[in-house]
Structure 1
Amino acid sequence: MAMDGKPEATERRELDVPRLVMRVRRLGDLSQRDLAGLVGISQPQIARIERSLRELDVRTLERVLDLAGLRLAVIDGDGNEVSPVSDNVILDHAGRRMPAHLDVRVPTDRPRRLLTDTRYDRPEPNSWYHHRDQRDLRRRELGLTAHTDQPTRADAEREYRRRLERRPHQATPGRSARVELEECGCPAACWGTKGCDDACTCRCGG
């Protein structure tokens, strides 16, 4: 324990659910029966939870804590709150997430080795990623870490727009050179394709 009474960064504390439930009842002036009615379980179950005879699932614990204006948080060793990964990350063509431990690149950030290896017999990938050895090499080159999140679809859209703005007078692959930049409303999925993606509402290259 530190001199100021706060736990040291390396101190590991288990979540004391029974006493947290009691804290909620104390802050909210709730009896066991009151709390049971609010969260939809019986009073004997609340009693068993407070006596460590019954476990409480995380979702129900969050509901209990919310009654007193409290919330669960994941904290790292330095006391900083850790947020979950975004639910808007880039997906593959089957709607699956990319491997969580790998570093994903947006569609326009095409790996060098693929610049001359265009495949016309399959859809353009929604993103790119490397396996661990190449991933670690790229992390060292670019200063990336495991704390650098995978890009979201919004990130891919911004990168697509940024690249278009860097060459506003050039035709985008698969599109007519007559299309003005300000008229295009295509999502990143249209980049590099022979026309617009099925979900595109712009249809400038359709």
Structure 2
Amino acid sequence: MSEAAQGHPPADFDLSGTVRRIRRTARLSQRELALAAGLSKSTIAQVETGRRGLSADALASLATIAGLRLALVDGDGVEVLPMRGSAARDDGGRRYPAHCDVRHGDEGWWYLPHRAARPVPWFTFDLRRSEPLADDDHPVQVPEDDPRWRAEQRRVESLTAWAARQQQLREDYLRRLGAGEVPPLRDDPCTCPPGCEELLVGDDPAGQADPHVPDCPCRCDVH
């Protein structure tokens, strides 16, 4: 069993010196510190002589008495904050595994055949140890994480992109018309079927020689 499991501090953490520092800062005797923390004097004495360990809760309580607090720091001495409790949870109210990466449930893999009949969850998780952390924490759930809201946003964005493309096509036609590259529009209305419109929204509609479906009754120059 490891030292941590037995309640002993790791070898590179000086618990004895830390408790003595707490007492020094608080200017309290072993008996006074033990009384303030609800511990026995012998416990404080044994911790300071390295004969026993101390739980994190008890150590945090001692630090608070001295106006101090426990903190994690990285190799550069920068404080590492605890994971926030307000992060997203699953339908059962449980937190997602801390060591895993949380992402939206509609991102990619959920739409596999064996999941098609199941409702899309707001979030799911996976483990990608080979990749750097995308975020230091799990996301906080907001209404915009609803898969239905996200689907509607994608639909709106698609329509917006389509409208922008149509505007670009119109502007391109007017430019080409002004340069004499294409004839003006006919006076009679266009009767092209929807298939012709789909041809126009291709990768390079301006360069298509005949953007019409085979059975188009109109075959106008621009529709």
TM-score, structure 2 length as denominator? 0.52
More helix by share: 2
In structure 2, what is the Cα distance between the partners aligned to 1:113 and 1:28? 56
Match for residue 219 of structure 2?
Answer: none
Match for residue 125 of structure 1?
Answer: 121
Which of residues 115, 139, 142 in structure 2 aligns to 1:151? Answer: 139
Which of residues 35, 40, 43 in structure 2 aligns to 1:42? Answer: 40
Shift of 1:58: 0.8
Note closer, same or farther for the CA distance 1:103–1:44 as it changes in structure 2 (3 Å cut): closer
Shift of 1:100: 2.9
Match for residue 88 of structure 2?
Answer: 90
In structure 2, what is the Cα distance between the partners aligned to 1:87 and 1:23? 31
Which of residues 98, 102, 119 in structure 2 aligns to 1:104? Answer: 102
Which deviations, in whole Å up to 9, do the C-alpha atoms of 1:154-182 show, x marking residues without a partner?
xx33556x967895xx9xxxxxxxxxxxx
Shift of 1:68: 1.3
Shift of 1:60: 0.5
TM-score, structure 1 length as denominator? 0.56
The code of the aligned residue for 1:43 comes to: K
The code of the aligned residue for 1:157 comes to: P
Q: Following superposition, which runs of at least 4 residues in structure 1 exceed 4 angstroms of deviation?
A: 113-121, 162-167
Match for residue 178 of structure 1?
Answer: none
In structure 2, what is the Cα distance between the partners aligned to 1:126 and 1:158? 10
Note closer, same or farther for the CA distance 1:117–1:157 as it changes in structure 2 (3 Å cut): farther
- Aligned sequence identity (%): 37
Shift of 1:54: 1.7
Superposition RMSD on alpha carbons, in Å? 3.4
In structure 2, what is the Cα distance between the partners aligned to 1:73 and 1:38? 21
Note closer, same or farther for the CA distance 1:114–1:50 as it changes in structure 2 (3 Å cut): closer
Q: Which one has the largest radius of gyration?
A: 2
In structure 1, what is the Cα distance between the partners aligned to 2:21 and 2:126? 48
Which of residues 15, 18, 33 in structure 2 aligns to 1:17? Answer: 15
Q: Say whether the 8 Å CA contact 2:122–2:145 is kept in structure 1.
A: no
Which of residues 22, 28, 31 in structure 1 aligns to 2:29? Answer: 31
Match for residue 8 of structure 2?
Answer: none
RCO comparison, higher one (Cα < 8 Å, 6+)? 1
Shift of 1:121: 4.9
Structure 2: gaps of 5 or more residues: 1-10, 160-223
Structure 1: gaps of 5 or more residues: 1-12, 171-206
